[in-house]
A and B are shown apart, each in its own frame.
Chain A
Amino acid sequence: MGSRTVEVAKGVPPLAPEREVIWPKRTKEKLSNGLQLILAESHSIPKFHGQLIFLSGNAAAADRAPGLADMTATVVRTGTQKHASRKLEEDLRRIGADLSTDAGSDTSSISFSGLSEFAEPLLDLVQELAREASFLEGEFERERRQKLEEVKLNRTQPAFLASERLRKVLFGAHPYSQISPSEAQVAAYEREDLHSVYREFYTPQNALLVLVGDFEPKDLLKSIEKVFSTWTGNKPSAKTFATPANPRTRRVYLVHVPGTVQTQILAGCHAITRKHSDWIKLGLTNTLYGGAFNSRLVMNIREDKGYTYSPRSAVNALRQHGYFSISAAVRNEVVAASLTEMFYELDKLRSLLVPESELADAQNYLSGVFSLGLATQDGLLSQFSTVAQHELPDDYLETYRAKVRAVTSEGLLATARKYLDSANMQIVLAGDRAQIESQAALFGDLEIFDAQGSRLE
């Protein structure tokens, strides 16, 4: 890679014996109305964190309008019949609680945290928002206007524009191709559309409640039953979408943002979901490539060449499909040079076995970092939520480290060959075409768009 020889450290103390990593026991229950519960104790602070997750998000509403589940979640947060906006905020504050609502491609969720002494009143507010959100006309109109401004602002951000284009390129007609509505689509949202998304998605049969914190599971279960047991509602009918074609042949998509002093590079290809048997192997490949500070990509284009501040790569898992991406914001003069290094490092992973010591370093990183989340309530919550949402096996957390350790250099080589082909990577560049067009054209057929998504000649 670099032009510089890497010197090794002298006199490094060895690692002490590892302490066993023990994930807290999870209590799993299902209420008679279908609501699934996952509870785990963590007594680090006298608080608890939770998430009420509905297994339907923007993708499930995409046939109606892009971003509709997200807009619905935003308006849910504005209040209920019993708790109009102002009273809701005051009552949350009175019990020291935080609460937010959100929807991504696959889920809608209400996330919250608060003092353990007020667990039941907070759960009661969550329950109310899940069942009795009022969707007042005034709240809806205000939030729609806010959303319009947010959508406009997003279109001035190179990182957003690059993600938006990459998702379109990779997912075509599949709902995963949409990460944001257009201004016109926001303007066309109807309050009744939001309300029907709410009625369909926000039901106990479609929900998981995950709670982590300083509580006695038995006592908390009683509160949960008291608060949630009278809630009813069916699972929404499942939607199926045709599998998007994996784009073949490298192409370049330039999103023209006049006046930018830097170019956002984002390249990607199809990958896999978390349930796939190659998930851990691909995760480890990504760690080596650009998923850690100590990775080949970061050492090359940041620490050796100084092209960029924050290069990285990632395996992004949505529920039905996944994709791999490489990103870096680089100065305009080195767009071609950066892409060349990105692909060089990718090709190298497909051509040469990873040395044993580098493999061991990456394994240690991935298994160590996986356990760091143990120390906080929200770190635990995020792991338990991921396992539940992606329907991973019950022992996923407990067996993860051993599976990481079992990967071999040969396995990595096969994984890189299977998934990471620079000849088929789709390249998005968000930047000023006058500065970068000739560099962009070196890497494949070029299409140019403006920030609104229109083709430019």
Chain B
Amino acid sequence: MNRLQVAIEHKKLANGLHLVVAPDSTAPVVTVGVYYKIGFRLEPQGRSGFAHLFEHMMFQGSANAPKMQHIKLINSSGGVLNGSTSYDVTNYYQAVPSNALERVLWLEADRMRALKVDDENLKNQRDVVKEEVRVNVMNEPYGGFPWLDMPPVAFRNWANAHNFYGDFADLDAAHLGDVQAFFKTYYVPNNAVLLLLGDVKPGEGMALADKHFGSIPAGAAPQFADPSEPEQNEERRGNVREKFGTLPAIAVGYLMPKRRTPDWCAMALLDQALHGGRGSRIHRELVLEKQIAVEADGGIDDLFGYNGPTQMTTKILHKPEHSSEAALAAFDAVIRETQEKAISADELQQLKMKWRSDYYATLEGGRGGYMSKYGLMHLLACFTLFDNEPQLVNTILDGFIAVTPEQVHAAARNYLRPEKRAIVFRVPEMAGVKEAA
């Protein structure tokens, strides 16, 4: 078996900033990422959507690179850039021709050291974020389904249950003081990792990183709110109106085990058995065979990157002539089969082969042809921030390859239980649709 090994060097600067370099000189391109260990899960109460709004503010100017200059300097170096906010991390990344490496480091260091924004920037980005929410959620059929619909139904701790994109009233309430406080609390070097991937020599990369980031003072270690959930002992259900689409939709989410446990590996393969494309059990049964559903897919969102309660979620859009209860019954039959009968060695072998192949694809790409090594960057960042062990990129596969049919069977029985799940019905406003309970 031809195993992929990624060369990785890791060290920590005196101010606590992790530095990870993964050299590969195949193409004259380097990907630079900075990950901060704060996502929307632990943003301040009364400030839903703030972590994401803050991410936008990080492009609004810093002490030596005023508004628009970060974007201009990356684009005019021949590169692309973006940022994203997820549950437990926020990232900033750019892919550039490798001759722009030092310029990118200077820009990232400048905004880590001294964000410099004003009320006008905040108002501008609040408007932009509202348009983002409108285009992705409010004006879009099935917008926010189920990633925004599920949390308030499934969870009881505000951290996990609130609107991650933000209620508009909360976005309006955010002021410059919030921006400064959030920056000072979470955007400290000792809560971040800097990643250099691609055409960079480790020694040079380390020296440049030290030159630009080394003098940024460490901050107080951030205090994080407790994201844990009270134990769930009953099935939870909720309804959400669908304004534009005409097909009823259902999302079913089951609580996941903790990351990096044997159960986690088994659940990941069970997830592939259930959701891994056209050959998966749920798609095959609901779409291809019973033909109740038009779409039936899902999975574990960001398997390697969650650091708090999360679910494996199935999304079903079904034909209106079938009731939602009938669609749910068909889904339940697939789940029951995984509990009554162990997966065959042959099926598991297929899943593992596909898993390995997908894993390589993740490491190489992940955000389109122009953003190479996004997946590798994400995994290295999560393994560094959560586990202090970026080398896991080279060994994590072993745990999945070792999973046995018995473990998958046990995972199905232990985790896919009604009292551990939540169900959201997205109900079209169009007349004539059978309402779910």
Contacts and interface: CB of A to CB of B under 8 A. Distances in A.
B184 to A, nearest CB: 23
Contacts of A95: 353
Interface string B184-214: 0000000000000011000000000000000
Interface in B96-127: 96-103, 106, 120, 123-127
B433 interface: no
A371 B198 CA distance: 14
Contacts of A115: 2, 353, 356-357, 360
A368 B27 CA distance: 12
Contacts of A98: 277, 357
Interface residues of A, number: 87
Contact of B141 (A7, A16, A19, A153): A153
A19 B370 CA distance: 18
Interface in A335-383: 360-362, 364-365, 367-369, 371-379, 382
A113 interface: yes
A364 B69 contact: no
A375 B127 contact: no
B176 to A, nearest CB: 16
A117 interface: yes
Contact of B79 (A43, A150, A330, A372): A372
A262 B353 contact: no
B244 A156 contact: yes
Contacts of B399: none
B134 A43 contact: no
Contacts of B199: 19
B345 interface: no
B279 A92 contact: yes
Contacts of B361: 45, 47, 113
B364 A294 contact: no
A183 B294 CA distance: 16
B131 A374 contact: no
Interface stretch (A52-60, A65-73, A82-90, A317-325): A82-90
Given A44-B24, A302-B128, A361-B76, A13 B288 contact: no
A365 B364 contact: no
Given A261-B139, A309-B128, A331-B131, A18 B73 contact: no
A233 interface: no
Contact of A373 (B3, B97, B369): B369
B382 interface: no
Given A16-B102, A117-B2, A372-B370, A303 B67 contact: yes
B81 interface: yes
B246 interface: yes
A369 B190 CA distance: 32
Contacts of A307: 127, 131
Contacts of A15: 77, 99-100, 103
Given A367-B78, A371-B29, A96 B2 contact: no
B124 to A, nearest CB: 5
A374 B134 CA distance: 35
A157 interface: yes
B246 to A, nearest CB: 6
B103 A12 contact: yes
A94 interface: yes
A97 interface: yes
B71 interface: yes
A133 to B, nearest CB: 15
B17 interface: no
A372 B372 contact: yes
A371 B131 CA distance: 32
Interface string A142-176: 10011001101100111000000000000000000
A262 B78 contact: no
Contact of A375 (B135, B277, B372): B372
B357 A364 contact: no
Interface residues of B, number: 89
Contact of B96 (A9, A310, A368, A374): A368
A393 interface: no
Contacts of B73: 9, 12
A364 B78 contact: yes
Contacts of A149: 247, 294, 317, 319
A173 B403 CA distance: 58
A89 B277 contact: yes
Contacts of B77: 15, 364, 368
A14 B358 CA distance: 38
A303 B372 contact: no
Contacts of B276: 93
Interface string B296-325: 000000000000000000000101000000
B128 A156 contact: no
Interface string B1-32: 11110000000000000000000101111000
Nearest to A330: B131
A261 B139 CA distance: 6
Contacts of B363: 45
Interface string B278-290: 1100001001100
Nearest to B105: A13
Contacts of A260: 139
Given A46-B4, A117-B2, A361-B75, A262 B135 contact: yes
Given A45-B363, A294-B71, A157 B141 contact: yes
B103 to A, nearest CB: 5
B75 A376 contact: no
B132 interface: yes
A312 B288 CA distance: 38
Contacts of B130: 331
Nearest to B363: A45
A21 to B, nearest CB: 6
Given A294-B68, A368-B96, A369-B78, 6 more contacts: A85-B288, A292-B75, A293-B71, A294-B76, A302-B128, A371-B97
14 contacts: A86-B279, A89-B284, A115-B353, A149-B247, A261-B134, A292-B75, A360-B76, A368-B77, A368-B79, A369-B79, A369-B370, A374-B28, A375-B29, A376-B364
Q: 10 tightest A-B contacts by CB?
A: A368-B78, A89-B279, A96-B357, A306-B127, A379-B369, A361-B76, A375-B372, A19-B28, A294-B75, A7-B66
